Structure 1
Amino acid sequence: MKNNTGKRSRRIASKNKYLISSYLCQVFDTMRDGLYITDNKGETLTVNEMYENLTGLKSEDIVGKNVKDLVESGVFDLALNAKVVQTKKAATAVQMTNKGRKVVLMAHPIFDYDEDVELVVTFVRDIALISQLKEQVVAQKQLINKYKHEIQQHNESLYQPSSSVMVDLYDQVRRVARTDATILFLGETGVGKDVMAREVHEKSTRKGQPFLKVDCTSIPENLIESELFGYAPGAFSGADSRGKAGMFEMADKGTLFLDEIGELPLSMQSKLLRVLQNSEIQRVGATRARQIDVRIIAATNRDLEEEVRQGNFRSDLFYRLHVAVIRIPPLRERGEDIHAMLFYFRKQFNTKYKRNLKLSAKVEEAMLNYRWDGNIREMENLMHSLAVTTHDERVELRHLPMRMLDSSAMQCEPGQIGFDIENEQGKDFKTIMAEVEAQYLLHAIERYGSMTEAAERLKINRTTIFRKLKKVGLSGDEREN
């Protein structure tokens, strides 16, 4: 007879064997997993207390009974005993009991000295708990990926200022960062207020401590208090019995960035004022306040002075925030930075999508002349779109959105379309205008990439363009590309 249990056996002092066997069932009851043990015929030998809790079944109803009979009588819908005995391998399945409980079974064979299965030990776990753990793992992976992306972006900063206005702005940000003063960033949507807030944090003595961002527009009004200040155990129906820390507590010793603070409800403004005045917060449902040490950075695209006059923003909070006020100019006021930012975003999305996308000279010209009303966010989204939708390696004018072309594409001087009054001697006005019109159309075809596209942008029929070109001796077919 072969002893195949050498790898799995554990030596037990002979004087303790009886002691262990006497208390084995109690040992099983200390396990956090459910336990179901059968012999090789399928007879139920024992279950532990956790198994009863998970399945709703009682030991006196199943111990001594064969799992096959239990399945046939509907106590549970399947058993793994026969499969494990036959294959001599572990098996896993999802089981439903007659109590409406769904559990995961993980059955393992226990061998005798002849390598035959003597027992089947099945561990039982709550499927809802496993699903919850999986969701938590997925959420943690997403959070890790988010932080990796943020770290990558931070290591290769977008803001390498070229314009004098941004160089001065950065100097001001770094000076203020060394203090612990409250900062208020003003500027249009998309100018990079969140990036500047992180720049303050990284240049401050709080670097290495938490930096948390709260978008005041994205949290429902009925939840914003509990999100910012947390809540005490049992504060309201559905609340976690252990309570929950708010963003202020989680940012303790670090920086809290309140983006779009102009959207904060009046009821919350008074609570924020208390934080700024006393450095303390009180959880929803709590009776005592807590001291915190958090630096506040706020940002808004609203005119807060006007909001104060209209009664939408507290004047005392406005003056509390009005310590270090920094206005970030829109992109159209710092044109020298546009080229560097285009290069950055192109490089970023080329790396992400393994592209080698380039911008034609005319595309760069159109982008430099564009107003960028959406500022840096609009530029980032446009470059992202071009990276995923453009099949060619070079971005041409035809790939750009109509709003960008309409704003700058057709702003031509007469000389750019070949008009020179000194060379028009002997021609009547009608002929001159026909030639000017034809050259303008040629310019449109070249800029938009094709006659069809030019016709659509100029809102005329394609055959009209063809006819007008042919009238002055130009072949429309030759211009189509």
Structure 2
Amino acid sequence: MLTLDHTIQEALTLLTERNEESAEVVDEEQQTVGMITLAEIRIAIQNGHVLMPLRTFFQQPFLQEFLKEQEPGAFHQLLMSKMFSDMINSLYDGVYITDGHGFTVKVNTAYERITGISSEKVVGLHMRDLEKAGYISKSVSIQVIQEKRALTRMQELANGRKVIVSASPVFGRDQTILYVVSSVRDITELIRLKLENDELKDGQFESGAGSAELDKLPFIAEDEETKQFFALARKVAKTNVTVCLTGESGVGKTMTASYIHRHSSRADHPFIEVNCGALPANLIEAELFGYVGGAFTGALAKGKKGFVEMAHRGTLFLDEIGDMPLELQVKLLKVLDDFSFTPVGSTSARQVDIRVIAATNQPLEELVKKGDFREDLYYRLTVVPMHIPPLRERREEIPLLLSYYMDQFNAMHETAVSLSPEARHFLCEYDWPGNIRELKNAVEYLVVTSDSSTVGVEQLPAKIRRVPSVIRPIVEGRIIPLKEATDMVEKQLIMKAMQLHKTTRKAAEALQVSQSTIVSKMKNRPSFDYNSDQK
């Protein structure tokens, strides 16, 4: 039961909790004054009277006459129109609108879908009440009202989903906030697809389930060479043959090994990574093959399983195999030959069912010639050699990787940072000597240090902003086609002009061409990814 001292908002809360369309209102003597309906409450709220006491409400002879006295602005008229409702209900992202005090005025159907909350449960409620009810973690609309500026934040909803909320204020003539309009984008799936760490701790166990993320990575570009590489990876995955991955540091050898494991019949069993270069020389044997109790000073009384045994029925990934000591190489050869090993301190061999994938950034052939690597082990490991080119030779992947890691780190750090077309171009043109690892770290640096929502060229590290010399290919003794050289010079001149002048208009003036020419050329180059108007 409602009294005349209750407000419109409290009346809405009562009806919503009881799931009723109307409620009786009584005076101080508990005499019925009248009934208030949900429809009347909504009309009052939409006209900005959320906190109006019911006493004032019932002093009006007729509700419609009362509402006619109100003069909603043009924005309010648009807000309440059927056309506006149809427009926002056609959007895939959620739309949430509050008044300047933080009371909910309108939501679209996409918001209801994302949150699982019907509009009837939130319209009229203050954002603080939604926080207390656990519908949202923290209101962005309240922050916008307090700070009087547009904000973007990450929220966690009551249903466990995570969303990016971008809220903007609508100001009146006197610069007071009339409304706050928020767009709500569901990023739950994006977070679920976080990239598995290609720098696992030494000997870390991986069940194999996390590797499924790799199938969704932009690691596979559309060029024919990369397609053939992964076709080969899937083909050898169906066998138990030993694979040796070669390539520079950071090119993705761990990800490739995990990819092979995931596509093999061993996918549901352990994937054990061992960095042969990181283990102390005096402990590597015990870590690799395990030991029995009392095998050496400091050994556990019950002994310990080694990485080889931990990988039983799964995959053993030996990274930096070129750093393995010679005295252990013969023992590894035995594992590869008859799948048996002997723990430290034991006199009996044990059988194991494993598949071995090795990786190195060193030229094993040279190590063999120097006597630092056994020739018989070299041939045993390189049954199927697979070389991974450096990222500078796989430039088609760079824009995809940039987008992927930007999304990942925005979700991780609860930000909404994007790259300007100019910054993206410089990142795509950089040679990335540290390959994917360097790119990943660079993107995280930009996300966490950016003071604005868009990263500009000036925020890039100096080494990335450096424009490469147009004469470098010739200096290196390589003759290139004239058209390719012309395109190269043209691209780098545009880069330099954009770096210096920041906008396409000023860059065009400096290069003495039209602005449309600059925009057209940037659009025609994938590495520019130019998709906005620059003035």
TM-score over 0.5 for the pair: yes
Question: Aligned in 2, Cα 1:289/1:207: closer, same or farther, shift over 3 Å?
Answer: same
SS of residue paired to 2:442: helix
Q: Which residue of 2 aligns with 1:302?
A: 362
| Structure-1 residue corresponding to 2:440 | 380
Deviation at 1:153, TM superposition (A): 4.1
Amino acid at match of 1:446: H
- CA–CA distance in structure 2, aligned partners of residues 360 and 183 of structure 1: 41
Matched position secondary structure for 1:391: coil
Q: Identify which of 305, 330, 344 aligns with 1:270.
A: 330
2:21 maps to: none
The alpha-carbon deviation at position 185 of structure 1 amounts to: 0.5
Shift of 1:183: 0.3
Cα distance, 1:149–1:367 mapped onto 2, change above 3 Å = farther
What is the deviation of 1:354?
1.4
The CA distance in 2 between the partners of 1:146 and 1:206, in whole Å, is 12
**Which residue of the other structure, out of 153, 158, 161, is the alignment partner of 2:221?**
161
1:198 correspondence with 2:258? yes
Q: Which residue of 2 aligns with 1:323?
A: 383
Give the match's secondary structure for 1:335: coil
Residue matched to 1:371: 431
2:410 maps to 350
Which digits, 9 at most, give the CA deviation of each residue in 1:263-317, with x for residues without a partner? 1111111111111112101100001010111100000011100110011111010
Specify the alignment match of 1:360 in structure 2: 420
Cα offset, 1:156, TM superposition: 3.7
Give ranges in structure 2 of 5+ residues lacking alignment.
1-202, 472-487, 504-535
Alignment of 1:211 onto 2:309: no
Aligned Cα root-mean-square deviation (Å): 2.9
Q: For the residues of structure 2 that align with 1:245 and 1:215, how far apart are their CA atoms?
A: 17
Alignment of 1:389-468 (within 5 A): 389-408=449-468, 445-446=500-501
Summarize the alignment of residues 280-291 of structure 1 with structure 2, pairs less than 5 Å apart.
280-291=340-351
Once structures 1 and 2 are overlaid, which stretch shifts more, 406-415 or 319-328? 406-415
| Structure 1, 408-417 or 222-231: larger mean CA deviation | 408-417
More displaced 10-residue stretch of structure 1: 154-163 or 196-205: 154-163
TM-score (normalizing by structure 1): 0.55
SS class of match (2:396)? helix
Alignment match, 1:231: 291
TM-superposed CA distance for 1:387, in Å, is: 1.1
Please, what TM-score do these two structures have when normalized by structure 2? Answer: 0.50
Cα distance per residue 1:29-52 (max 9 Å; x no partner): xxxxxxxxxxxxxxxxxxxxxxxx
For residue 57 of structure 1, what is the aligned residue in structure 2? none
- Structure 1 residues 145 and 410, CA, compared in 2 at 3 Å: closer, same or farther? farther
The structure number with the bigger radius of gyration is 1
Query: CA, structure 1 residues 443+241, in 2 after alignment: closer, same or farther (shift >3 Å)?
Result: closer
What is the CA-CA distance between 1:410 and the residue it aligns to?
9.6
Q: Distance in 2 between matches of 1:297 and 1:398?
A: 43
- SS of residue in 1 equivalent to 2:312: coil
SS of alignment partner, residue 466 of structure 2: helix
The yes-or-no answer on 1:314 pairing with 2:369 is no
Question: Is 1:185 the counterpart of 2:240 in the alignment?
Answer: no
Asked whether the 8 Å contact 2:214–2:259 carries over to 1, the reply is no
Q: Is the 8 A contact 1:232 1:286 kept in 2?
A: yes
Q: Could you tell me whether the CA contact under 8 Å between 1:366 and 1:408 is conserved in 2?
A: no
Alpha-carbon spacing, 1:343–1:267, altered in 2? closer, same or farther (3 Å): same
For the residues of structure 1 that align with 2:442 and 2:493, how far apart are their CA atoms?
30
Asked if the contact 1:398–1:447 (Cα under 8 Å) also holds between the matched residues in 2, the reply is no
Task: Report how many residues are paired.
Answer: 284
Structure 1 residues 237 and 415: alpha-carbon distance in aligned structure 2, compared to 1, 3 A threshold: closer
Does the aligned pair in 2 maintain the 1:161–1:337 contact within 8 Å?
Answer: yes
How far apart, CA to CA, are the structure 2 residues paired with 1:408 and 1:335? Answer: 15
307 and 415 in structure 1: CA distance in 2 versus 1, 3 angstrom threshold: closer
Shift of 1:368: 1.4
CA separation of 1:246/1:417 partners in 2, compared to 1, >3 Å: closer, same or farther? closer
Tell me if the contact between 1:357 and 1:394 (Cα under 8 Å) persists in the aligned partners.
Answer: yes
Structure 1 residues 311, 416: CA separation in 2 closer, same or farther (over 3 Å shift)?
A: closer
Cα distance in 2, alignment partners of residues 145 and 396 from structure 1: 40
C-alpha deviation, 1:151, in angstroms: 5.5
- Whether the aligned pair in 1 keeps the contact of 2:247 and 2:390 (CA below 8 Å) is yes
Partner of 1:249: 309
- C-alpha distance in structure 2 between counterparts of 1:410 and 1:391, whole Å: 33
| Aligned residues of 1:410 and 1:444 also touching (Cα < 8 A) | no
Return closer, same or farther for 1:322/1:152 CA change in 2, 3 Å cut-off: closer
Letter in 2 for 1:199: Y
Cα deviation, residue 408, structure 1 = 3.7
Q: Mark the CA change 1:417 to 1:178 in structure 2 (over 3 Å): closer, same or farther.
A: closer
For residue 245 of structure 2, give the secondary structure of its aligned residue in structure 1.
strand
Tell me if structure 2 keeps the 8 A contact 1:233–1:242: yes
Checking the alignment, whether the CA contact within 8 Å between 1:331 and 1:338 is kept in structure 2 is yes
| 3-state DSSP of counterpart to 1:296 | strand
**Equivalent position SS for 2:328:** helix
Output the amino acid matched with 2:501: E
* CA 290–146 in structure 1, closer or farther in 2 if over 3 Å, else same: closer
Contact 2:251-2:391 at 8 Å conserved across structures: yes
Q: What percentage of residue pairs aligned between the two structures are identical? A: 40
d(CA) in 2 for partners of 1:331, 1:258? 22
Structure 2 CA distance for aligned equivalents of residues 305 and 253 of structure 1 = 30
Write out per-residue CA displacement over residues 131-180 of structure 1, whole angstroms, 9 at most, x where no aligned residue: xxxxxxxxxxxx99998994684464342322222111110100111111
Which of 335, 340, 345 does residue 400 from structure 2 map onto?
340
Contact 2:215 2:259 in 1 (8 A): no
**Bigger share in helix:** 1
**How many angstroms apart in 1 are the aligned matches of 2:235 and 2:209?**
27
Deviation at 1:195, TM superposition (A): 0.5
Q: Take 1:201 and 1:306, find their aligned partners in 2: how far apart are those partners?
A: 29
Separation of aligned partners in 1, 2:289 and 2:491 = 65
Are the counterparts in 2 of residues 206 and 254 from structure 1 also a CA contact under 8 Å? yes
Q: Structure 1's 391 and 185: CA in aligned 2 closer, same or farther, altered over 3 A?
A: same
1:447: how far off?
A: 5.1
Which stretches in structure 1 are left out of the alignment for 5+ residues? 1-142, 419-439, 449-481
